[in-house]
Each structure stands twice: as structure tokens, then as C-alpha cells.
Amino acid sequence: MTRYLVRRLFFLVLSFVVGMLVVFLLLRVLPGDPANALISLNATPEQIRAAREQVGSDKPVLVQLVAWLGGMLRGDLGTSFTSGAPVAGDIAQRLAVTLPLALISFLIATLLAAVIGVVAATRARRWYGVLLGAFTQLGIAVPVFWVGLLAVWLFALTLRLAPSGGFPRDDWADPAAALTSLALPILTIVVVMSASLARYVRSATLDVLDSDYLRTARALGESRTGAFVAHGLRNAAVPVISILGMELASTLLGAVVVESVFTLPGLGALLVKAVGEHDYPSIQGVLVVTTALVLLIGFLADVVQRLVDPRLRGSISARAAGA
């Protein structure tokens, strides 16, 4: 396991470095100049030249890359072209909205999906099992922005139970107000994510219920529930863990849609704003942070899978011994 962790950490760092290079180079090959964020339509050649010198786009790409990587090593993601504020501080402020939104939604959706998926599998022939199975299919087909708009119409405009959007100016100084403003965005993500996850949980549970070892356990006198908890729960969890990692990563990456619907000042809103203003340091900073989070989530999901399933640890040990 230790050898696997070292190797996996190496590839994690390598993937992050490659991701940073791809982000930097792709932004440089796209049409347009970062200096366009600072000049007007009627700018003179002297003004254009001064703007390019200010943002550093007049330097060779290799020089720009070395300067950017040097700043990254110092924890400096650069300075926004449009606001003049440090990108790292702006991202940290936006993460205070995006991370709680994603993590709370993920935890609630995971708990709901586990219950819905297991019940839909174990009670597949009952009417409520069929109904839960239909819910998982419907939830996957419905776009997240439509669920958000429906939630605004029902709970904010009609029932007036929660605000339709926005976030407190003082952020989390008043936790109750902050959580209230996140209530509908969390509900939106939970509806879509729990339906998607429940489908995988149901499929994994059905595979375990039809397995030979579970039938053997029941033939030895164990109840269906006892046999599933004792022998099948861990096996059912293994394929779901990787899906959980992908769902959490997609929630972070897809936050831009939910944040746009509910006008939340999160990381996705910052990215949309930076793209519209050609603010390259902010774009690079957001993409680097999201890339790091996605890679870290994938790494943790792989480690948890191997901790849960001893067969994976055994295969790793066997390959290491053969090597």
C-alpha cells in the first residue's frame, strides 16, 4: 500500500504540473491579447504597447511561463488585470461560497442516494421500489438549471420560504443567513445528484443481491438484510466510491450553472466574469485551483477504494512482488 501511495502521489503531482502547462499554453494560443482587458476600442498604438508591457504579453511565452510558475511556487497566482486585486485572495473569497455549497450538497445527496438506491434494489418488485427507480431516471434527464428555476418559482416566489438568490455581503459572519441563501442551490444540486447516485447504488446493490456468496450466506441461515450488511455492503460500495469522486468533482466544475441561476458570488461566477473580461490571471488561477481539487478528489477516491476492497490491495501487492 505504501508503494502504491508513493506512485499515486507522483502521478498526482505530474498530472497537476501537466494541467498547469496545458492551461497556460491554451490561453496563449487562443485569439486575442491579454492587454485587450485594459484598452478601449480607440486605443492608440502607444497605449496598446503600454498595456502589453503592463500585463507582460510583450515578452516571449517561455519568459511568461517561467514567471508564472515562479509565482505559483511562492503561492502567488498573479494580479487581476481588471480589479488589480490578488487573484489568490479573490479565489479564497469565492471558495468560501463554492466549497460549502458543493460539500453540503454532496453529503446530503450521498445519504439520500444510499437510502433510495438500496430500497429501490431490495424492493424492486414493490410499487415504491418501482417509483424510486423511476425517480432516478427522471432526475438524470432533468437539467440542473431547470430544477433551479423551478425551485425559485416554488419556494422563493410562491411559498416565500427562502431567498431567490444572492449571498450575504459579510459572507459567513452570520451563518444562519449564509445557509439560508444556500438552501435553494443546495436543494437543486441534491435533487439532480441524488438521482444520479441512486441509480449507481441501485445497480451495485442488485449485483450483490444476485451474487453466489450472498445466496450461500442466506442458505447458512442468515437473513437477507443480515447477509447483505455482513457480506455485500462493502462489495456494493466499491464501484460506487469512484462514482462519488466523479460526482463531487463534477459538482465543483458545474457550480457555474447553479451559481448563475442563484447569482452566487462563487468560483464559477468568477470564472465567467474573468472570461468575459479577458482577465487571464483570474482565468488561470480558477482553472489551476479547480484542476488541483479534481485531481485530489480522484486521488482520495482511489485510496478509499483500496482501503475498502482488500482485493485491490492484494492485486497491488502481487504486482509489486512480481516486479
Q: What is the pLDDT of residues 10-23, one digit of tens each?
A: 988 899 989 888 88
Question: What is d(CA 85, CA 253) in angstroms, rounded to the nearest whole number?
Answer: 24
pLDDT of residue 318: 47
| pLDDT tens, position by position, 209-256 | 777 777 787 777 777 777 777 777 777 777 788 888 888 888 787 777
pLDDT of residue 320: 45
Where does the pLDDT of residue 101 fall: very low under 50, low under 70, confident under 90, or very high at 90 and above?
very high
What single-letter DSSP state applies at residue 78? -
**Residue 102 grid cell:** 458543493
CA 242 to chain centre: 13
Beta bridge partners of 210: none
Beta bridge partners of 170: none
Where does the pLDDT of residue 103 fall: very low under 50, low under 70, confident under 90, or very high at 90 and above?
very high
Mind giving me the DSSP string for 2-22? HHHHHHHHHHHHHHHHHHHHH
Question: What is d(CA 143, CA 268) in angstroms, rounded to the nearest whole number?
Answer: 17
Say which residue the cell 441524488 belongs to: 194
| pLDDT tens, position by position, 105-146 | 999 999 998 888 888 888 877 877 788 877 777 777 788 888
How much is the pTM?
A: 0.83
* CATH fold for domain 90-322: MetI-like fold (1.10.3720)
pLDDT of residue 184: 93
CA 148 to chain centre: 18
In the chain, the N- to C-terminal Cα span, in Å, equals 15
Say which residue the cell 455485500 belongs to: 232
Give the E-state strand segments of 25-100 in sequence order: none
Residue 165, pLDDT > 80, answer yes
For residues 244 and 303, the answer to whether their CB atoms sit within 8 Å is no
Question: What is d(CA 46, CA 134) in angstroms, rounded to the nearest whole number?
Answer: 64
Number of neighbours of residue 20 by Cβ within 10 angstroms? 19
Q: Where are the domains of the chain?
A: 2-73, 90-322
Beta bridge partners of 79: 86
Helix (H), strand (E) at residue 248: helix 233-253
pLDDT of residue 100: 92
Question: What is d(CA 24, CA 29) in angstroms, rounded to the nearest whole number?
Answer: 9
**Residue 94 grid cell:** 469565492
For residues 164 and 148, the answer to whether their CB atoms sit within 8 Å is no
Question: What is d(CA 147, CA 134) in angstroms, rounded to the nearest whole number?
Answer: 17
Question: What is d(CA 287, CA 155) in angstroms, rounded to the nearest whole number?
Answer: 33
Map residue 86 onto helix, strand or coil.
strand
pLDDT of residue 312: 64
**144 CB-near residues (< 8 Å, 6+ apart):** 188, 189, 192, 254, 257, 258
Dihedral, 312, 318, 319, 320 alpha carbons, nearest 10: 110
pLDDT of residue 303: 84
Distance of CA 66 to CAs 50, 63, 95, 285, Å?
22, 5, 27, 16
Segment 2-31 shows an average pLDDT of: 84
**Residue 55 grid cell:** 500585463
